[in-house]
Amino acid sequence: MAYKGEVKATVTTVFPLPAEEEKALKDTLQEILGIGAKVHLEQKIDPSILGGIVLEFNQKVFDMSIKTRAQQMERILREPVNIGSI
């Protein structure tokens, strides 16, 4: 695929993307990757991400899922607070 200028992208969501959103995502990826690249978008369904999307392409992962955001928030909230600095 790489020598043909084709890029496989995988998008993970809780529900299947509607056709217009899938096209918009594919068009955006096409703009990011440039004119010579052809995007092949694969959809995966994973209810465990709770919402949002996880996008993978070119060995990069863009995790914009509710699950990851909640884990980040939990980690921040569990950090000890230094009362002396307040």
The residue ranking higher by pLDDT, 2 or 52, is 52
Task: Please state the pTM of the whole predicted model.
Answer: 0.82
Does residue 86 have a pLDDT over 90?
Answer: no
The answer to whether 62 touches 55, Cβ cutoff 8 Å, is yes
> pLDDT value at position 66?
97
Give the whole-angstrom CA distance, residue 72 versus residue 66: 10
